[in-house]
Amino acid sequence: MSQATAAPKAPLTHRLRTWVGDNALRIYAVIAFVYLLLPVAYTFAFSFNDAGRTNIVWNSFTWDNWLNPCGAPEVCPSVVNSLVVGLIVTVVSTILGTLIAFSLVRYRFRGRSTTNLLIFLPMATPEVVLGSSLLALFLNLFVPLGFTTVVLAHIMFCISFVVVTVKARLASLDPRLEQAAMDLYASEREAFRRITLPLVAPGIAAAGLLAFSLSFDDFIITNFNSGQFTTFPKFVYVSATRGIPPQANVIASAMFFIALAIVLISQFAGRRRKEV
């Protein structure tokens, strides 16, 4: 009886190319995540640094920065300013943007195409152009720069993002659901409250979170129109000349983990709703 001859092994280079080809997407995903999360990891690590004059060189590990996040001058007031501005901007831009989105999707009127085009302009315009244009407008109208001008500027560019987000959600809804509700003797108001609004609510919530993150994170438009009013991004920029305090890293890390928790909770809640 003859023995079966073993198949010859492929060359190492061929096997390596095959493995890379089979796992190219995974390798790319790992590299992309490392690239995205490396600044976050740096910020988080240096929030525990016992910094001296600057927080660039690692000295020693300490919990003091997390136990006293307001230890650096002006850091907590700037965060409060950003939170207040962000909440006001979120409420106003979400309400106005949702109403505009409903009008653009559900109604036909003269100038609808032009309105659709104008909605995209703040998103397509560079922030330097937008910030300088708003600054010229406020100066020509003799509006003092400060809290009010920052809120108005943020509302102006956040509305576009809210409209686009809610519009996408509305466009995916089947209008026959509302028609079926009205066929079952529901009024237009009841059909909106019981059918339309619950279905659009995830899109409105996503638009609100997007508006808040854009407002809290903005620096360029804020720097043009804030005057002596200081938000957290502006505080970080001004502090960079003399060394960003580790307390700023603490607050930035905390904001990242809060945002991550919100995303995970929403994903978990959505999965639970699908299972039910």
What residue spans define the domains of the chain? Answer: 77-231, 245-276
Chain position carrying tokens 């089947």:
174
Of the candidates 158, 265, 271, which has an alpha carbon nearest to the alpha carbon of residue 207?
A: 158
Q: What is the pLDDT of residues 57-107, one digit of tens each?
A: 788 888 988 988 888 888 899 999 999 999 999 999 999 999 999 888 888
Q: Which fold has domain 77-231?
A: MetI-like fold (1.10.3720)
Q: Is the pLDDT of residue 2 over 60?
A: no
Q: Considering the chain, what percentage of its residues have pLDDT values greater than 90?
A: 35
Of the candidates 53, 72, 16, 2, which has an alpha carbon nearest to the alpha carbon of residue 241?
A: 53
Mean pLDDT over the full length of the chain: 85
Q: Report the C-alpha gap between 218 and 212 in whole angstroms.
A: 10
Q: What is the pLDDT of residues 114-130, one digit of tens each?
A: 888 888 888 888 899 99
pTM for this predicted structure: 0.82
Q: What is the pLDDT of residues 85-94, one digit of tens each?
A: 999 999 999 9
